[in-house]
Copies of this chain bind each other. A is one copy, B any other.
Amino acid sequence: MRVSTRFSDSIHLLAFIEIYADAKLTSDLIASSIETSPVVVRRLMGKLRQAGLIATTPGTAQPTLAKPLSQISLLAVFYAVEGDKPLFAVDPKTNPDCIVGGNIQNVLGQYYQDAQTAAEARLAKTSMQDIVDNILVEQAKKDAGQHA
């Protein structure tokens, strides 16, 4: 896998907080939806809290969103949990005495950055509100199908 499921799971977590705001939001309950362990959920929440996306109280359940869903872009979530590592890795160990080995890191780095920026721009266009809206639409489709 390229980007770990931390990104995917974090989006899941935020959507869950929104949709199940009325439930008792323990890390255990959230974990049961993501199908992972409560510790993993708490670790993710730690990152999201540090990034200013949610607020939590030690010792108490019920994390809350720190800002409206429409103001949380997928890119913000990405940076919160994965932002420190580039999407494409330049091999850092090449022969500096060779024309290719001595210059490729600089050259490739620029093009890689461009590609990553393009992906990030796309992630920036989508908000968590879009995700939640789509989840609810998909669910409505399923419900409609059942009644037919």
Residues of B contacting A134 with CB < 8 Å? 103, 107
Q: CB < 8 Å: which of B11, B108, B126, B135 contacts A11?
A: B108
Copies assembled: 2
Contact residues in B for A118 (Cβ distance below 8 Å): 118-119, 121-122
Stretch from A46-54, A57-65, A87-95 at the B interface: A87-95
- A131 CB to nearest B CB, Å: 6
Main secondary structure of the interface of A (DSSP, over half): helix
Whether A3 and B33, one on each chain, are in contact in the complex, defined by CB atoms closer than 8 angstroms, is no
Contacts of A139 in B (CB 8 A): 99, 102-103
Q: Are A5 and B91 in contact (CB under 8 A)?
A: yes
Greatest chain B CB density within 10 A among A86, A87, A99 is at A99
Interface centre among A107, A116, A138, A142 (most CB of B within 10 A): A107
Partner pick for A35 among B8, B90, B95, CB 8 A cutoff: B95
Q: Is A87 in contact with B3, judged by CB distance below 8 angstroms?
A: yes
Q: Which of B2, B9, B74 contacts A86 (CB 8 A)?
A: B2
Q: Mark A77-120, 1 if CB is under 8 A from B, else 0.
A: 00000000111111101110011111110111001001111111
Residues of chain A touching chain B, judged by Cβ–Cβ distance below 8 Å, are 1-5, 7-9, 11-12, 15-16, 19-20, 32-35, 74, 85-91, 93-95, 98-104, 106-108, 111, 114-123, 126, 130-131, 134-136, 138-139, 142
